[in-house]
Amino acid sequence: MALSRRSFLGIAAAGVGGTALGLTGLRRFGGAHVGAAGQPLAPPVPLSGRVHDFALTARPADWDIGNAGAAHAWTYNGVVPGPELRVTAGDTLRVVLTNELPEPTTIHWHGLPVPFAMDGVPDVTQPAVAPGKTFIYEFPVTTPGTFWYHTHAGYQLDRGLYGALIVEPPREALAYDREFTLVFDDWLQDPDHPRENPDASGMGGMGGMRGMGGMMGRRGAPRRGAHGEAARIEPLYDARIVNGHASAPSLRVRRGDRVRLRLVNAGSALPIAVWLAGHELEVTHADGQPVVPRRTPALILGMGERYDVLITATHPGVWPLTAVATGRKRATVLLRYDGMTGGAAESGDAPSARDVLRYPELAAATPLPAGDPDRRSDLELSGGMMDPARWTINGRQYPDTEPIEVRRGERVRIRLFNMSMMPHPVHLHGHFFQVVSFDDRRLGVPILKDTITLGHMETADLDVVADNPGSRWLLHCHNVYHMMGGMQTELRYV
Per residue in 339-378, pLDDT tens? 888 777 665 667 777 889 999 999 999 998 889 999 999 9
Pairing of strands 424-428, 451-454: antiparallel
Q: What is the C-alpha separation between 302 and 304, in angstroms, rounded? A: 6
Tell me if domain 27-172 and domain 375-493 are identical in fold.
yes
**Domain 27-172: homologous superfamily in CATH:** Cupredoxins -  blue copper proteins (2.60.40.420)
Q: Which residues of the chain have pLDDT under 70?
A: 1-46, 202-229, 326-327, 345-349
For residue 42, give the DSSP letter.
P
Q: How many C-beta atoms lie closer than 10 Å to residue 400's C-beta?
A: 12
Give the fold, CATH level 3, of 375-493. Answer: Immunoglobulin-like (2.60.40)
The pLDDT of residue 199 is 79
Q: Any residues with CB less than 8 A from the CB of 220 and at least 6 apart, and which? A: none
Do residues 276 and 336 touch, judged by C-beta distance below 8 A?
A: no
Burial of 415 from C-beta contacts in 10 A (0-12 / 13-18 / 19+) = middle
What one-character DSSP code corresponds to residue 118? G
**Residue extents of the structural domains in the chain:** 27-172, 375-493
What does the pLDDT read at residue 463?
Answer: 98
pLDDT the model gives residue 226: 57
Cβ(277)–Cβ(248) below 8 Å: no
**131 preceded by a cis bond (ω within 30 of 0):** no
